Amino acid sequence: MHNEQSYSYQHILDAFTQEQLYLISQVKRFFEWYEGDADFRASVNTGRVNDEQQRRMKQIGIDFPVREMALVWENPEIIKECISPKRSSEHADILIKHAELLHDYPLLELWLRFILRQRMRIKEVCKQRRLPDSKNTRFENWRIRRIVSAQSELGGYGHNIDHPILALELSEGCSVQCWFCSFSAQKLGKILDYQENKDFFRGVARACADIFGSKAAGLAMLYYASEPFDNPRYIDYLRDYADITGAVTCTSTAVCADKKWIDDLLAFYRPYNLPWPRLSVLSTKILHKIHDQHTPYELRDVSLLMQLKDSGQPKVLGGRILAQKDDMRQCNGKNDLQGSIPQGSIACVTGFLINLVRKDIKLVSPCYVSEKWSCGYRIFDQASFDTVDDFHSAMLDMIERNMPETPPAHMPLQLRDDLVCRTAEKGFDLVSPNQIHHFQNKSVFQALGELLIKPPVSYADAFDILMDKYGQNPLEVQAVLKNLFNNGFLDEVRFSASRF
């Protein structure tokens, strides 16, 4: 199995002794309870954890006295500073800065070392997975354009996406129906029956490995706007996919109270030392059930993502709860948004979203939620298929249709639909929901800025107009247009749509 995640996660585990890992898993559980239960959080914050809560600590496998965590109520700012996502890249410095204080709280210090290493690993893995890996160059260049485009639109959030290239849904819809579902998942419909479709599924996996190469085809997930639990043979599909591509893929599930399901997932991932599955916790009651049903050490590598209403984690305002919020485009230099730009999407796939029940394919990439792209991803193209052979050719056709190596002459020179173009000092600014890109102090930028705020012309016409009407140097014109294309500023959806 060629899973780089397994290697890097093992590297983290190797930095700690077995005994330390037992302790870490207990501190992890303490903070899960703290995060997911408002009553317990209030007790901890005031330093008054009552007898019953202390008994429950023991009952769910937290063996240390609550006093070990006293820093949480005595000096909460230190904890916040240490675990703030903004600071994780400087983790060594933070621990050194607070070394003296943390010395009195060895369990907290141990846990902080563990989670800060984990954060660094996640960043590193995301970076690695964004690198070109596919044997299909057209697709790879398109993916790179979409990745920079997502970073431009989503800002800091965009840098934490690992951009898997494939999502293969094994059911129609989702049984969980979360109130906040940013993908607006429909009610559960048909399931991809394993007995009937084993060969079909393996054929699709083989086609993906053939088109992208086995390693790149491993950048996949077997769910998206669907719930893995809904397909009773989900783990068999995971096994088949790993068998063909060599990659063990991740699982996130919101069905956490079913002990057998979680035990089966743990058993599947255990031999690979991977930090999976990930559990989306929808209520405090479910959190308690998880803690009752599994020991801290069993869940050592499992992230609990708190999706409770009162968890304080803001939801992405897309899909079922679509709402517009202010972003950088409303900021005109005089008003200040005071750091309130929301996370713009929960989407991650930059490539193909495939539903194996409906037998349809969408070419997608993450973007900032809007009325038009309410699920937080753009759809560039769609196709349907019947057999594995159809699937193979539909995928190649979509690559051919939507992924030119260079901007075709007839492609409209039109900006991405999230961008606002504002004229600026000898040039222009492109304002995305999360960032401003400056193109200033060059006559070619000034000419291009004037062109971009007019109705769009074709790429070839733009080239001629900039040279003939604005008298710009052809090499500079070529470079600046290429820059717009390669950095994902141009609207390739409309270009794609004009072709099908």
Residues that bind ligand SF4 (CB under 6 A): 174, 176-178, 181, 183, 185, 225, 227, 254
Nearest CB to ligand SF4, comparing residues 176 and 420: 176
Name beta bridge partners: 366. 377
Name beta bridge partners: 252. 278
Nearest CB to ligand SF4, comparing residues 119 and 320: 320
Nearest CB to ligand SF4, comparing residues 254 and 490: 254
CB of 165 to ligand SF4, least distance (A): 20
Please say whether the dihedral angle defined by the alpha carbons of residues 302, 300, 123 and 216, taken in this order, is positive or negative: negative
CB of 108 to ligand SF4, least distance (A): 32
Q: For residues 39 and 68, what is the distance between their CA atoms, to the nearest angstrom?
A: 19
CB of 227 to ligand SF4, least distance (A): 5
Nearest CB to ligand SF4, comparing residues 254 and 465: 254
323 class by beta-carbon count within 10 Å (0-12 exposed, 13-18 middle, 19+ buried): exposed
Q: For residues 473 and 479, what is the distance between their CA atoms, to the nearest angstrom?
A: 10
CB of 290 to ligand SF4, least distance (A): 16
Nearest of 366, 298, 443, 321 to residue 151 by alpha carbon: 366
Nearest CB to ligand SF4, comparing residues 310 and 464: 310
| CA distances in angstroms from 1 to 160, 236, 457, listed in the order given | 24, 16, 49
CB of 239 to ligand SF4, least distance (A): 22
Nearest CB to ligand SF4, comparing residues 205 and 256: 256
CB of 194 to ligand SF4, least distance (A): 21
| CA distances in angstroms from 425 to 195, 419, 428, 469, 489, listed in the order given | 65, 18, 7, 20, 20
C-alpha dihedral (363, 156, 90, 133), degrees to nearest 10: 20
Amino acid occupying residue 497:
A
The single residue listed with the structure tokens 């190469």 is 213
Nearest CB to ligand SF4, comparing residues 41 and 278: 278
Name beta bridge partners: 206. none
CB of 179 to ligand SF4, least distance (A): 9
